[in-house]
Structures are given as structure tokens and as C-alpha cells.
Amino acid sequence: MAAARKRWEALIRDQKVKVLTPKEAGYAIKLSNKTLLDVRPSTEHNKAWVKGSVWIPIFDVDDSSDLGTTSKKITNFVMGGWWSGSRMLAYDKNFVSNVEEKFSNDTDLILVCQKGLRSLAACEQLYNAGYRNLFWVQGGLEAAEEEDFQREGPQPFKLAGIGGMSEFLGWTDQQRTFGINQGLGYRLVFTGRLLGLIILADALFFGSKQFGPWLQQLQSH
């Protein structure tokens, strides 16, 4: 990871890849007709995407069910995947050839992902494959304001990267930030879910005495 970071920093310092803020990327799409290439996995892309963007994932949900992957999936779930909703992702080794099929190496491409890391990895691969007009959206869609891009899909950009039980309960940082500007109704949905879950969990797993400490532990997560 440290080595990769050094390479990516050099990529930007040497201006092999140009940096755009989400707002600048939004202008570039609108005003100069550049292509926005979304490299996020399907789990994020399905929730929100930029109108007119092209979707080619560099990592996607690992569907393979061989024994090694299955045990890794179980570990991932037990180690917190149930809470964060993060799924096992696998690198798509056809990523570069999928891009090459659609775009010649002189095309202006603006690469975006949810947080800015995977798109930078994608920029490096495309640069190494001969692409010379690459732009990277710093901070990804999570750093975008809703007015920066025309959005399609059911969720705000900032919430597309979350999932699992923490999303269900409204306990992710992204939802807290978003919830500040929303009415009481938005928060009540999550309060209702939490109460429902407490009652359910109480009935299923816990005596009422054990439940308090468990909840505290969960909240400090």
C-alpha cells in the first residue's frame, strides 16, 4: 500500500494525471463534453450515478464461490461486514481492455469512484496502457455536493458507499452529516428501525439485562 501511494503521488506530481474537484469535473462534463468514467463496484453504482457517465468497474463484488473465497467472505462478514455492509471485492483483470474497447488512448477521460482511491488506481493502469488525457476526481462522489453533477438513482452520492446494518440504522457518519439538513421524519425512520431491532433482538437473543451493555458496545463501534 505504501509503495502504491508513492507511485500515485508521483503520477499527480508529474501531472501525468490531472486533478479535478467534483465541481470542476461537473463543469468539464457539461461545458466541454468530456467523458466521466465511473469505476465503482455495482453495489455503489446501483445507488447513485452521474447522468451520462460510463460505468466500467475496476473492482466488483466477488461472485466466485470456491472454497477459499467463501471462507474469506464469511470472515469478512464476521469481522464487521454485517455492520458496514462492505462486501468482498475482486479486481477485474479485464478493466483496461474493457476501457480500450470503448475509448481510444487519446480520449479525455475523467475517472471517478466513491472516495477517490480506486479511481486513482484505475488512472495508473490506464496511464500505463497508453492513455494520456486522464483526469482524476479528488475525493470521489462522496466529496461531491448534490448540485455538482446531475444524479440518477435512488440515493444521494454521499450515501452510495455505505450499507449493512449501520446504514439501516442511520449510524454512518455520512448519514449523520446528511441528516442534519433533513427534517425530523428522516431521523424518525431510523429511530423506528432501532426500536424494532431492539425488540426483535431482545426477543431472539438476549435477556433484557445483557442487552444494555451490548448496545453500548455497538454504539461505540
Ligand X SMILES: *[C@@H]1O[C@H](CO)[C@@H](O)[C@H](O)[C@H]1NC(C)=O
Asked if 196 touches ligand X (CB under 6 A), the answer is no
Which of 58/126 has CB closer to ligand X? 126
# of chain residues touching ligand X (CB under 6 A): 4
CB of 32 to ligand X, least distance (A): 8
Asked if 33 touches ligand X (CB under 6 A), the answer is yes
Angle of CA points 53, 91, 11, to nearest 5°: 70
Residue nearest to ligand X (CB): 130
Asked if 150 touches ligand X (CB under 6 A), the answer is no
Residues in the chain: 221
Asked if 105 touches ligand X (CB under 6 A), the answer is yes
Contact 122, 95 (CB under 8 A): yes
**What letter does residue 21 receive in the DSSP assignment?**
-
Question: Per-residue contact track with ligand X, 59 to 98, x per CB under 6 A?
Answer: ----------------------------------------
**What letter does residue 52 receive in the DSSP assignment?**
T
Asked if 155 touches ligand X (CB under 6 A), the answer is no
The two most distant CA atoms of the chain are separated, in Å, by 65
Active site residue 123: no
Asked if 130 touches ligand X (CB under 6 A), the answer is yes
Whole-angstrom distance, CA of residue 130 vs CA of residue 116: 21
Which of 5/132 has CB closer to ligand X? 132
Three-state SS at 34: coil
Whole-angstrom distance, CA of residue 202 vs CA of residue 221: 20
Which of 33/219 has CB closer to ligand X? 33
Pairing state between β 89-91 and 59-61: antiparallel
Give residues in contact with ligand X (CB under 6 A): 33, 105, 130, 132
